[in-house]
Structure 1
């Protein structure tokens, strides 16, 4: 099925919307036919189903780790799979990291062989604001990197 790029986050919470905004940016730039873009929003459960059958998944989201705003982290998906006990899971708290673990269990042979997660350190997640300058700048750099990656031969 090719590459699936999923942008997660809340568009109504400033820098937390960096994932979906990156997806819109990639869409406007144009992508090759072997790439599918997904606005994962805040629906973690949907992320698991969007990965089905993909050769590779690239997931982009915001993070808060006390690093400088705009810091970019690249992490193999397997390092972030986190599934709480079944007693603790409910749909309102099901995040994309849960979806990685749930997807491995659910999708079995259709689970992607390669998952990479890019996390961009936030500055402000106040309701209603746009991306802050350092987050917007890093988002544009990452978008350019992803465009070069998906358009590279082979």
Structure 2
């Protein structure tokens, strides 16, 4: 379980089904690049494990492969705390969407939940990730690394010798 105030990035998907590995690939690319308060989790499609991984988190970012008809490698973002949000995200029959609704019913959603879908093309068992999806996963990993390693802005205080 995540510690309150922490961030968790979850790669959701199957590593043996081509582009379905996009979320797992993002997490693997992030290993060793993020501060310790950002947990990285690889999830092979287990909804209960997903709920456990984000419970108590301040922010959960879940990355999954999607099929919406957009060009392969397209990145979709959805803030998923509104009921019904993310309805079309995810390539799993029982998985991400169901985990969000179950966590809502159990009161186990993170404070903020961002679902990021990478549009896939080939979900065939044994296939390799397609080049467009691999590029999108790399770009997303770079974006997340930048976001979570950027120093917090300094609070501006009164100038020396002047009263507030």
1:1-154 correspondence runs (5 A): 1=3, 2-27=6-31, 29-78=32-81, 79-80=85-86, 94-106=94-106, 108=107, 111-154=109-152
Paired with 1:31 and 1:126, the residues of 2 have a C-alpha distance of 32
Q: Structure 1, unaligned stretches of length 5 or more?
A: 83-91
Shift of residue 153, structure 1, vs aligned partner = 2.1
Contact 1:81 1:98 in 2 (8 A): no
Which one has a larger percent helix, Structure 1 or Structure 2?
1
Q: Distance in 1 between matches of 2:135 and 2:17?
A: 17
Q: Distance in 2 between matches of 1:95 and 1:70?
A: 21
RMSD: 1.8
Query: Contact 1:72 / 1:138 at 8 angstroms: preserved in 2?
Result: yes
Native 8 Å contact 2:100 2:109 kept in 1: no
Asked if 2 retains the 8 angstrom alpha-carbon contact of 1:61 and 1:118, the reply is yes
Q: Which runs of 5+ in 2 are unaligned?
A: 153-164
SS at match of 1:39: strand
In structure 2, the residue corresponding to 1:105 is in which secondary structure?
A: helix
Number of positions where the alignment pairs a residue of Structure 1 with one of Structure 2: 142
| Residue of structure 1 in register with 2:160 after alignment | none
Question: Bigger radius of gyration, 1 or 2?
Answer: 2
Question: In structure 2, what is the Cα distance between the partners aligned to 1:132 and 1:40?
Answer: 20
Moved more, 93-102 or 134-143: 93-102
TM-score by length of 2: 0.81
